[in-house]
Amino acid sequence: MRKDATRKFASPEALDDAGVTIAVVAGSADYELAKAKFPKANLKALNVNSSIQVMDSVRRGDVDGAFVSTAAVYAWLRVPENAARAEEAFPEQELFPAPVGWAVRYGDPDWKSFLDSYSRWTAANGKVKALYDKYYAGANPYKSN
């Protein structure tokens, strides 16, 4: 959301209003989720190469907000110019937790079992958070120097 927006939203449910415009990536899972969660809102489906690009609509003031992954929000807001104009609307609230999955070759239960076990192990011992933090510390293309 824009920091200087005149209309403030107290909760995610307040976005479900015909007077609200939300930018989303056309044809994405985010678009389908936003359509289901905010059926009354005006969705601006943008044909872009990256989910981060819909955030430019927020910066320009074309929309009230953008619906993208938390990772995209964090990456975009790390740029000082962007952070000066916009903010995460509902910090610490996952509107739609999106699990990541993988495909395995049909008929290979040992590989599937290994992947499932590894996922549980990394989640249980904190490695998921450590890997996430390490990745975003070094691989963010929008990171300021």
Q: What domains are defined for the chain?
A: 12-85 (3.40.190.10), 99-145 (no CATH)
Q: What's the mean pLDDT in 123-135?
A: 82
For residues 44 and 63, the answer to whether their CB atoms sit within 8 Å is yes
For residue 78, count CB atoms less than 10 angstroms from its CB and return exposed for 0-12, middle for 13-18, buried for 19 or more.
middle
d(CA 134, CA 4): 32
In the chain, pLDDT over 70 holds for what percent of residues? 87
Q: What's the mean pLDDT in 15-41?
A: 92
Q: What's the mean pLDDT in 57-79?
A: 84
The end-to-end CA distance of the chain, in Å, is: 24
pLDDT at 145 over 50: no
pLDDT at 46 over 90: yes
For residues 74 and 136, the answer to whether their CB atoms sit within 8 Å is yes
**pLDDT grade for 9, boundaries at 50, 70 and 90:** confident
What is the pLDDT, as a whole number, of residue 88?
80
Q: Rounded to two decimals, what is the model's pTM? A: 0.66
